């Protein structure tokens, strides 16, 4: 197996095939990001991006806890029906 991997990654002079290696790393990164998005583990997103993803799923209370932007946070509380919290945020 090690020899097969070595043949795939290295050219005839024994050097690493840079484009193949680069594309392998890019593919791995995209697969990891896709897995995180699908599984709900959104660790690569900013707090506002996490909040927006939860907001779009209708999970307003969780979204409000993630948002740093007060307008989005207020909108999430409003949609959750927590009008007192929303009005306090909108008032500043």
Structure confidence by residue, pLDDT tens digits, 36-59: 665 565 567 889 999 999 999 999
Same domain assignment for residues 49 and 34:
no
Q: Do residue 28 and residue 51 come from a single domain?
A: no
Q: What is the mean pLDDT of the chain?
A: 79
What confidence tier does 9 reach under pLDDT thresholds 50, 70, 90?
A: low
At 13, give phi and psi (nearest 5°): -85, 0
Residues 22 and 57 in one domain: no
φ, ψ for residue 43, nearest 5 deg = -70, -20
Residue 12: pLDDT band with limits 50, 70, 90: low
More confident residue, 90 or 1: 90
Domain span including residue 60:
45-92
Q: Are residues 22 and 49 in the same domain?
A: no
Which three-class secondary structure state does DSSP give residue 2? Answer: helix
């Amino acid at each position: 197996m090690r020899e097969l991997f070595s043949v795939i990654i290295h050219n005839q002079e024994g050097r690493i095939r840079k484009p193949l290696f680069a594309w392998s790393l890019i593919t791995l990164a995209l697969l990891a990001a896709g897995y995180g998005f699908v599984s709900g583990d959104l660790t690569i997103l900013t707090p506002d991006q996490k909040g927006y993803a939860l907001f779009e799923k209708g999970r307003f209370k969780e979204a409000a806890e993630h948002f740093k932007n007060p307008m989005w946070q207020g909108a999430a509380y409003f949609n959750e029906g927590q009008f007192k919290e929303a009005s306090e945020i909108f008032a500043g």
